[in-house]
Amino acid sequence: MSEGLTIPIGPQHPSLKEPVSFLITLDGEVVKKAVIELGYNHRGLEKACESRTYIQDLYIIERVCGICSHAHSYAYCRCVEELAGLQTPRRAEYIRGIVGELERLHSHLLWLGVAGHEIGFDTLFMYTWRDRERVLDLLAEIGGNRVNYGINTIGGVRRDLDENICQHILDVMDGLEEQIKYYAELANTEATLIARLAGIGILTRDDVIKYGAVGPVARAAGIMDDVRIVEPYGVFTEIKVNGVTDDHADVYGRTVVRIKEMLESIRLIRLMVKEMPDGPISVRAPRRIPTGEIIIRVEAPRGEDVHYLRSNGTDKPDRVRVRAPSEANWHGMKHMLEGFHFADVPIIIAAIDPCYSCTDRAIMLRSDKGDTVTDWESLRRTGIERYKKMGIDPSKIRMRTSGV
């Protein structure tokens, strides 16, 4: 029996425009074995957070992910607020809720476009990305930037919503609802879309539990793991979310779940804008955070986002750990790919809505040969010595220089 043909995919943008490498072994047209190599995008975010103050960390945490920027900063702010014992105003929670749901809309619209592009349905790509622009313009108006809105701060939000913006949000929602209903109809009736997506990348209910998948991947297999429902936080303690699940357990199921979630998001945004209370938008936060440790879960567009924070009583965190939703979904990817056609590989990868830069964290592999744990200072010293041998002297480089 032959060994099969091994094809490397990546690390230059396989299916999505971020680096990851796949080694796919084929048996004819069918994927026999898949090996996933992550780690091309490690940025040392957690270490960077530990060497900066809590306020500076807000903007690093916001840049963990390009799409879920609000979810990450919200989870981080909640960690700090819980440790400091701050009670955020209700209006701030409503504004956070509105921005969070707008973010979910723009993330799912982006995904729907990418999925359309992967299966050669570029009209859908153009349509959804046009609609996404309207959401991004709205977010730029609310927060001041298209992607890194910077709406969250420790103790509340940085900007208030006035009547004009609220009216604009409602107007955009009216237009979007019509469009998303059209996409829902498309997903139900378009024969080519169903034929292309149904029955591939299957991850059944048992497999989801086994591999610990989260978000729309789990919900497409019938498991309700929406943190807004199972562990309500912020505004969702007052406003109930109608969860969306599906029983297809394949790429088609994930598409249906995301489209229905967008309709639910629109309902939630309308409700939150209508019921938003008056009052202050933030409370004063201390610079030094009391000692303690905490784990907070927030529902990002891609699934459950877990943040761990440990404080030692200073103005800098002792440890920050970010478990982005994509990180949980990678474990089942090998199982999802094996047994399906090679042509389906891009859409199966895209179906978990992967974010590679979210995923990469430092991992220490220890063998039995007596490996040692290196601390930060000796690691830096080793690096400087290595460059000195190459004729470069980096020891004079100041780690953090000011602008002038």
Partner 1 sequence: MKKIKKIFIPGKIVARAITSAFKKPATIKYPKSKPDIAPGYRGRLIYSPTNCIDCMMCMRDCPTGAITIKNLGTKENKEMHAYLNIGRCIFCCQCVDTCPKKCLSFSQDIMLSKLNRDNLTIEL
Query: Which window, 96-104, 186-194, 296-304, 350-358, contacts partner 1 (CB under 8 A)?
Result: 186-194
Kindly tell me which residue out of 69, 153, 245, 357 binds partner 1, with binding defined by CB under 8 A.
Answer: 153
- Return the residues of window 256-285 that contact partner 1 according to CB under 8 A: none
* Residue (41 or 148) nearer to partner 1, CB: 148
Determine if 66 is a binding residue for partner 1 (CB under 8 A).
Answer: no
What 3 state SS string does the chain have? CCCCEEEEECCCCCCCCCCCEEEEEEECCEEEEEEEECCCCCCCHHHHHHCCCHHHHHHHHCCCCCCCHHHHHHHHHHHHHHHHCCCCCHHHHHHHHHHHHHHHHHHHHHHHHHHHHHCCCHHHHHHHHHHHHHHHHHHHHHHCCCCCCCCEECCEECCCCCHHHHHHHHHHHHHHHHHHHHHHHHHHHCHHHHHHHCCCCCCCHHHHHHHCCCCHHHHCCCCCCCHHHHCCCHHHHCCCCCCCCCCCCCHHHHHHHHHHHHHHHHHHHHHHHHHCCCCCCECCCCCCCCCEEEEEEEEECCEEEEEEEEECCCCCEEEEEEECHHHHHHHHHHHHHCCCEHHHHHHHHHHCCCCHHHHCCCCCCCCCCCCCCCCHHHHHHHHHHHHHHCCCCHHHCCCCCCCC
Contact 290, 86 (CB under 8 A): no
The dihedral over CA atoms of 397, 400, 403, 404, expressed in degrees to the nearest 10, equals -40
Which residue in the set 5, 7, 35, 140 belongs to the binding site for partner 1 (CB under 8 A)?
A: 140
Give me 294's structure tokens.
């905490």
Q: Under rule CB under 8 A, how many of the chain's residues touch partner 1?
A: 40
Interaction between residue 142 and partner 1 (CB under 8 A) = yes
| Contact status: 53 vs partner 1 (CB under 8 A) | yes
Using the minimum distance from each CB to partner 1, give the nearer residue, 24 or 157.
157
**Site membership for partner 1, residue 403 (CB under 8 A):** yes
Q: Does 145 bind partner 1 (CB under 8 A)?
A: yes
| Interface with partner 1 (CB under 8 A), residue from 16, 20, 31, 60 | 60
* CB of 9 or CB of 256, closer to partner 1: 256
* Cα separation, 65 vs 50, whole angstroms: 18
Check binding of 239 to partner 1 (CB under 8 A).
Answer: no
Q: Which is nearer to partner 1, 196 or 323 (CB)?
A: 196
Nearer to partner 1, 20 or 45 (CB): 45
Contact 335, 344 (CB under 8 A): no
186 binds partner 1 (CB under 8 A): yes
Among 141, 231, 238, 318, binds partner 1 (CB under 8 A): 141
Q: Which stretch binds partner 1 (CB under 8 A): 18-26, 182-190, 295-303, 383-391?
A: 182-190
Instruction: State yes or no: residue 163 binds partner 1 (CB under 8 A).
Output: no
Q: How far is the CB of 230 from partner 1 (least distance, A)?
A: 28
Question: Binding of partner 1 at residue 320 (CB under 8 A)?
Answer: no
| Identity of the residue, 162 or 278, whose beta carbon is nearer to partner 1 in the bound complex | 162
The whole-angstrom separation of Cα 303 and Cα 352 is 10
Of the candidate residues 137, 171, 178, 371, the single one contacting partner 1 (CB under 8 A): 137
Number of neighbours of residue 37 by Cβ within 10 angstroms? 13
Binding residue for partner 1, selected from 35, 44, 182, 224, defined by CB under 8 A: 182
Q: How far is the CB of 400 from partner 1 (least distance, A)?
A: 6
Binding-site member from 148, 231, 264, 339 for partner 1 (CB under 8 A)? 148
56 counts as binding partner 1 under rule CB under 8 A: yes
Candidate residues 130, 240, 386, 388; the one interacting with partner 1 per rule CB under 8 A: 130
Give the residues lining the site for partner 1 (CB under 8 A).
52-53, 55-60, 123, 130, 133, 137, 140-145, 148, 150, 153, 158-159, 182, 185-186, 188-191, 194, 198-199, 248, 252, 400-404
